[in-house]
Amino acid sequence: MKNLASKFGVFLLLCPVLAHADWSVITHTDTNNNSETQVAYTQNEEGYSLEIYKDHVGAIRSRFSLSTALDILAKRSCPTYQIDASLLDNRSVNDAPCLTDLAWSEFILGYTENNVVSSEKLNALMNGSTVTFRFMLENGSYKETYFSLSGSKRATLSALGPEISIAP
């Protein structure tokens, strides 16, 4: 019986590690200048993806991308995202609109100052459970999808670099 209990205990210890597999760090290469950017990345079961990264001027960005080329985001319409049951938004920091292309929308979550990012949104994405995106397509229909945030903190901190700290 003790052996079974110890095996179960080891299993429970490994469960959080298995759950963190939802997010990973990938490298994007800018084909114009061959610069590389580390990106915290996840793709949900429906094929939608979410990325968090630091751009060349120190802005921390999140990019939500559609799953198929057949869908096109509505022009001048930012998706709404909700982290857990509380933080609901469709704007970047300083109330700026999102940047939107046909297949993706991007939000600025904050800026690095002296290697510190003050961002309630980034903190929530790193410490929450799920983020839900609601968006309108060019044909007028609405869709909704969600992402697990399990492992997002580890992947985001790794992508942003060891010198960056986050303040809510």
Instruction: Give how many domains the chain has, as a whole number.
Output: 1
Domain contains 99: yes
- How far apart, in whole angstroms, are the C-alpha atoms of residue 160 and residue 111? 12
Q: How many CA atoms lie within 13 A of 48 on its CB side?
A: 22
- Residue-wise DSSP of 107-161: EEEEEEETTEEE-HHHHHHHH-SEEEEEEEBTTS-EEEEEEE-TTHHHHHHHHH-
Q: Structural domain of residue 160, as residue ranges?
A: 27-167
Q: Specify the CATH number for the domain of residue 145.
A: 2.60.40
Q: Is 38 left (phi over 0), alpha (psi -120 to 50) or beta?
A: beta
Domain contains 126: yes
Cβ neighbour number for residue 61 with a 10 Å cutoff: 19
Digit-coded pLDDT (tens) for 77-134 = 999 999 998 878 999 998 899 999 999 999 999 999 999 999 999 999 999 999 999 9
Written as six digits, the tokens of 7 are: 């095996």
Domain contains 111: yes
Per the model's pLDDT, the better-predicted residue between 82 and 1 turns out to be 82
What is the amino acid identity at position 34? N
* pLDDT band at 9; cut points 50, 70, 90: very low
pLDDT at position 5 is 47
Domain contains 69: yes
Domain contains 14: no
The partner residues of 83 in beta bridges, in order of sequence, read 87, 131
Model confidence pTM above 0.75? yes
Written as six digits, the tokens of 52 are: 């968090």
Asked if 81 and 101 count as a contact pair (C-beta separation under 8 A), the reply is: no
Domain contains 122: yes
